[in-house]
Structure 1
Amino acid sequence: MAVSKKSVDPIKEIKSNIAKLEKQLAAAQQKQLASLKKEITKNSKAASDAAKKSKAASAKVAAISKKKKTPATAKQAIAAKKAATAAKSNAAAAKSALAQAKADLQSLSTEIKQENAITSAVAKAKAALAKKKAAAEKKAAAKAKVAAKKAAARAKLAAKKAAARAKVKARKAAAKAKAAAKAKLAKEKQAAKKAAAKAKAAAKAKAAKEKLAAKKAAAKAKAKKPAAKKVTAKVKKKPAAKKVSSKAKKKPAAKKK
């Protein structure tokens, strides 16, 4: 009796599906690795830029502290210190993000190595099983046929479970990576907005203070001008007082006549 093709095709189909899933999993892992590497490069640049900004802000604080102490320089020093603190905070955040990305990459690399080791062990086990199966088939065709059917059933069930696990795992990994990237992007966007708003508010406050200081200085200068005019007027009136005193001296001479 000829063996039906239908009894062989499901096993081949399962093996084909397993191979496809393994390829998909490997592709997803490589894609995730590439994404993490890009993220590390991006975070490395961000950390470097943040460090440069922090250094520049600290240098500005040092330069202002060397200037002569005035109300204006004091205000400049406060603003510079705030900017330096914000820059240091941004640098620390960027450094932390870089460290996290590196840790994620290391974790994924380790996971891939472990999976590769398991795959290799499974392949070796399958090869050993195939050898034993061939030897058993040579010794007893009937027993080998029964054993082959049982092994096929077990392989089919194991393949289904493995395929389901691999699919779920790949989905979870992709969803996790997507959620992490989205959350990080949102945080960076929010941090950038806050930093921009803070810088804008600081600049606005500084401009207002400088404008007020200029108004006060102008008012003070204007107040000094009338005082100067009064002093000059008093100086001009002094010769007239001398004339009055000379007339007073002439009066006794008139009495003698």
Structure 2
Amino acid sequence: MDWRAPVMDYCERQSSAFWAEPANALSNFAFVIAAASAFLLWRRRGGADYPALALIIVTASVGVGSFVFHTVATRGAKLLDVVPIAIFIYGYFLLALRRYFRLSIVWATAITLGFAAGSSFATTVDALNGSVGYLPALAALAIFAALLWTRRGQRATAHALAAAALLFAISLVFRTIDRAICPAVPLGAHVLWHMLNACVLWLLLRAAIFAGPRGDQASPIQNAKEPTAA
């Protein structure tokens, strides 16, 4: 595979020039803003939640990596776009199982690996302009929101995840129709995919931070019920 081969997947890009996708490139700063805002919230909450901090850093890297991809626009640069997104999806999935559902590390890891395997298979389906690979993440958000709605004290988290799922579904629509609307809208709709997804990640980070430890409190993950010796 030629990692230097140009990628011409979006309406806005009409050449292989570095600045051929200014809107798609600059809209990635929405992820950096989301990460910065989440970091300030993390600091106000005491700065003790290191799993959330890791996801904040990944969110910023999503913006940086996607900026590089939408400027350099090669197969190699595409890895800088998709890898941070995958890390956030699977990292948040694992954190949700531990933090929201109080699963043990063994069960949470096993379920996450199964989810990753299913998601990887979905990426091989060539449909919906490549959006099929994101449908497992959307389904997971919706299922988590529904399950948390039934748990006492988890309604706020359920609301946040449901709102994130709705925004994510809308953003997937814009990602899917990007090529189809090129003749009518030369700029395309991919820029809306970026901006809405930045809001999605912000909602998810906010939910995780508010459900996490504050100050010198012990982590809810550490407080998860584990089998004790007799």
* TM-score, with length taken from structure 2: 0.31
Q: Report the structure, 1 or 2, having the larger helix content.
A: 1
* TM-score, with length taken from structure 1: 0.28
